[in-house]
Amino acid sequence: MKRKNKLKKPKVSLKKGAELLKKRPFKRKPAPEERIREAFANVPNITDETLAEHREDVLSSARKFIYPLQHSRKRIVFISTSLAVLAIVVFFSYVGLSLYDFQDNNSFIYGVTQVVPLPVAKVGGSWVSYESYLFELRRYMHYYQTQQQINFSTKAGQAQLVRYKEQAMNEAITNAYTEQLASRYGVSVTNQQVNQEVGLVQSQNRLGSSQQQFNAVLNDFWGWNVSDFKRELKAQMLQQAVVARLDTGAMKRAESALNQLKHGADFATLATQVSDDTSTKSNGGQFPGAITQNDSNVAPQITAALFKLKPGQFSGIINTGYTLEIVKVLSRQGDSVQAAHISFNLQPLSKYIAPLQKTEVPHYFIHI
């Protein structure tokens, strides 16, 4: 069989194609010279007379881009300010709830109280800072967690934590009353006095034999650095200075005894007659054993004074913070001494704070 070749008919007829060519004739590309002439033909002719007109045309064209940018800038400032205000409100709401409702004491919250002077109580006209309360509380918690292994998340631990919170609050309130009394009676403690006391403690190896050990002891026991230790020491020294200023009776008794010694009175006899230390007065004020420079059973101020005296010499009046002391070296053997003392008890600070507590009752902002 012969195969028939079937040719497909073109979709567009020749006649129709000719008509399309007539409608869309081929365009000749213009020469480069012609395109340059066309481009420069659209450039405006600027003269001195038309300069102002053309400048206004250019500025008016730019303004349509400037105005939206100005509007966007104002909107950005408004949004940024709103977000900043919102962040501040959220931050202080969180801090307020953490401190006054949940009573958190973590490092972040404590850091906030170190920067923002938020109150925890008010004593008369004085505000008690939340930071001073947490400063005391956190050292209690650190000591009992690290040294006594107390778990404050347990029921028993929570009960103990309440007691430590009460102690910390009492410390903060007491410090506020002390500052009021110190201001009233012109009592102060200088940084130099604090540094001398720190040096005394370090020289007697009571908190480590080196600065590194000293820092380690402070951190291990209380979570403190040296600045924290000095702060606490300064508060204690101010309390002691206030008591020494107000307890005029103890000072008069000590001055009287010292005057008698200077006029030849027998130390042992006078100790028996006037000393407040019932454990030693019957023995002429003699300490029960030999005393060394780092003896933890004797106040550091007494130890420092004893090792400056020769056998047979007695000191002036020494303020240990709790007693006024006059000491005498009886004998020295190697690195230790036999000594005696005449002791006068100072009144507790609470005696002088009690009247303030009646007239200026503390107002607390948290309930423990």
In single-letter form, the type of residue at position 268 comes to A
Q: Are residues 83 and 176 in the same domain?
A: no
Residue 138 falls inside a structural domain: yes
Q: How many domains does the chain have?
A: 3
What is d(CA 361, CA 95) in angstroms, rounded to the nearest whole number? 27
The answer to whether 270 and 261 have CB atoms below 8 angstroms apart is yes
Last residue of a domain, one of 199, 225, 246: 246
Query: Any idea what DSSP says for residue 282?
Result: G
Q: Which of 246, 275, 296 is the last residue of a domain?
A: 246
Residues 285 and 187 placed together within one structural domain of the fold: no
Residue 94 domain-assigned (yes or no): yes
Q: Which of 274, 271, 189 is nearest to 232 (CA)?
A: 189
Judgement on whether residues 231 and 318 belong to the same structural domain of the protein: no
Phi, psi at residue 299, to the nearest 5°?
-60, 140
For residue 204, the model assigns a pLDDT of 83
Closest residue by Cα to residue 247 from 125, 351, 116: 351
Task: Note whether residue 366 is domain-resident.
Answer: no
Q: What is the mean pLDDT of residues 257-262?
A: 97
Are 96 and 154 members of one domain? no
Please tell me whether residues 334 and 286 are part of one structural domain.
yes
What phi-psi label fits residue 149: left (phi over 0), alpha (psi between -120 and 50 degrees) or beta? left
Section 105-116 average pLDDT: 95
Under a CB-based contact definition with an 8 Å cutoff, are residues 126 and 179 in contact?
yes
Answer yes or no: is 195 within a domain: yes
Residue that wins the pLDDT comparison between 30 and 340: 340
At residue 13 the predicted structure's pLDDT band, cuts being 50, 70 and 90, is low
Query: Residue 329's pLDDT is what?
Result: 97
Task: Give the list of residues 6+ apart from residue 51 with CB closer than 8 angstroms, or none.
Answer: none
Surface-to-core class of residue 81, CB atoms within 10 Å of its CB (0-12 exposed, 13-18 middle, 19+ buried): exposed
Tell me: do 169 and 287 sit in the same domain. Answer: no
Residues 72 and 89 in one domain: yes
- CATH of residue 156: 1.10.4030
Amino acid at 172: A
Q: How many CB atoms lie within 10 A of CB 153?
A: 8
352 vs 39, which has greater pLDDT?
352
d(CA 261, CA 194): 31
What order do you get walking across the sheet with 323-333 strand by strand?
291-292, 336-345, 323-333, 318-319
DSSP per-residue string spanning 314-343: B---EE-SSEEEEEEEEEEETTEEEEEEEE
pLDDT category at 205 given cuts 50, 70, 90 is confident
Task: Decide if 157 is inside a domain.
Answer: yes
What is the domain-level CATH number for residue 278? 3.10.50.40
160 and 200 part of one domain = yes
Region label for 251, one of left (φ > 0), alpha (ψ between -120 and 50) or beta (otherwise): alpha
Give the end of a domain, one of 246, 274, 293.
246
Domain membership of residue 168 as a residue range: 118-246
Rounded to two decimals, the pTM is 0.75
Q: 1 in a domain, yes or no?
A: no
Render pLDDT for 122-133 as a digit per residue (tens, 0 to 9). Answer: 998 899 999 999
Least confident of 56-65, 214-223, 292-301: 56-65
pLDDT top residue among 219 and 2: 219
Q: How far apart are CA 119 and CA 141, in angstroms?
A: 21
Rounded mean pLDDT of the chain?
Answer: 87
pLDDT at 34 over 80: no
Tens-digit pLDDT profile for residues 37-85: 665 555 555 565 666 666 666 666 656 555 555 556 777 888 888 899 9
Q: Is residue 60 part of a domain?
A: no
Neighbour order of strands in the sheet with 363-364: 126-129, 119-123, 363-364
Does residue 217 share a domain with residue 311?
no
Strands 119-123, 291-292: pairing is unpaired
pLDDT over 80 (residue 209): no
- In the chain, % of residues over pLDDT 90: 70
Task: Output the CA–CA distances (angstroms, integers) from residue 55 to 49, 63, 69, 122, 208, in the order listed.
Answer: 11, 12, 21, 70, 83
* Residue 18 belongs to some domain of the structure: no
Mean pLDDT for the stretch of residues 198-208 = 84
> What is the DSSP-derived secondary structure letter of residue 30?
P
Statement to judge: residues 125 and 236 lie in one domain: yes
Q: Which of 27, 74, 62, 134 is nearest to 368 (CA)?
A: 134
Residues 135 and 215 in one domain: yes
Closest listed residue to residue 328, CA positions, set 282, 277, 271: 271
Q: Indicate if 165 and 213 belong to the same structural domain.
A: yes
